[in-house]
Amino acid sequence: MPPDGVVTGERLLNLGRFEEALACFAAEEEGDLLALFGSAVARQMLGRFEEAEERYERLLAVDPKHEEALANLIAMSVERFHLGRVEEYSRRLLELNSRSAAALQGLVVVAVERRDYEAAARYFRQIAPAAAPGGDAIEYRLSRQTVERLRSS
């Protein structure tokens, strides 16, 4: 059973009350992996990406097979346009789950930016079955700067 602070933090995260959730998780994050993960998520949602990444990395040091942490690192790296990290985290996640939509989507973003459209199409074809209605897919929000860069390609 997770500590009360973690349970409360999860509820607050679901309500979009990220500062309050962070306070709950921060009190427990040193001794509880769920609290550490929750703290990373809250920081990510607050745009405190460096702090979030540091906590995800601490979590992965203890549990290198934590797929959600890797998926969140991929999404956060796309948001920050750190393509090297997107590729690194995507490859790590694919080693754990060869059908991971998050990892494949990350590699699509990297391939498109590198103008390797054949690779992008190959990764995208692998995503398509998972993205069917009722499937589990991640939506990336691209910044205006990224969209403009892709349009001008």
**Domain holding 37: CATH number?**
1.25.40.10
Domain enclosing residue 38, as ranges: 1-63
Give the model's pLDDT for residue 137: 45
Same domain, 107 and 151: yes
75 assigned to some structural domain? no
Nearest Cα to Cα of residue 78 among 106, 120, 45, 43: 106
53 assigned to some structural domain? yes
- Percent of the chain at pLDDT > 70 equals 82
As a residue count, the chain comes to 153
Give the model's pLDDT for residue 135: 46
- Interval 119-141: pLDDT, tens: 999 999 898 554 454 444 444 44
User: Model confidence at 4, in pLDDT bands (50, 70, 90)?
Assistant: confident
Same domain, 59 and 92: no
Q: What are phi and psi of 48, to 5 degrees?
A: -95, 70
Whether residue 79 is predicted with pLDDT greater than 50 in this model: the reply is yes
Give the model's pLDDT for residue 33: 94
Q: What are phi and psi of 63, to 5 degrees?
A: -130, 80
Name, in order, each residue with C-beta under 8 angstroms of 100's C-beta and a sequence gap of 6 or more.
67, 71, 93, 94
139 assigned to some structural domain? yes
CB 89 within 8 A of CB 77: yes
Q: Of the candidates 63, 95, 112, which is a domain's last residue? A: 63
pTM of the model: 0.81
Same domain, 53 and 92: no
116 assigned to some structural domain? yes
74 assigned to some structural domain? no
Same domain, 42 and 97: no
Same domain, 59 and 116: no
Same domain, 54 and 109: no
CB 78 within 8 A of CB 103: no
- Give the Cα separation of 130 and 25 in Å (integer): 32
CB 8 within 8 A of CB 35: no
10 assigned to some structural domain? yes
72 assigned to some structural domain? no
Give the model's pLDDT for residue 1: 64
Q: Of the candidates 10, 31, 63, which is a domain's last residue? A: 63
Give the model's pLDDT for residue 152: 62
Same domain, 45 and 100: no
- Give the Cα separation of 8 and 2 in Å (integer): 10
- Give the Cα separation of 59 and 68 in Å (integer): 11
- Give the Cα separation of 33 and 141 in Å (integer): 28
CB 36 within 8 A of CB 29: yes
- Interval 53-69: pLDDT, tens: 999 999 999 999 999 99
Looking at the 3D structure of the chain, how many domains does it have? Answer: 2
69 assigned to some structural domain? no
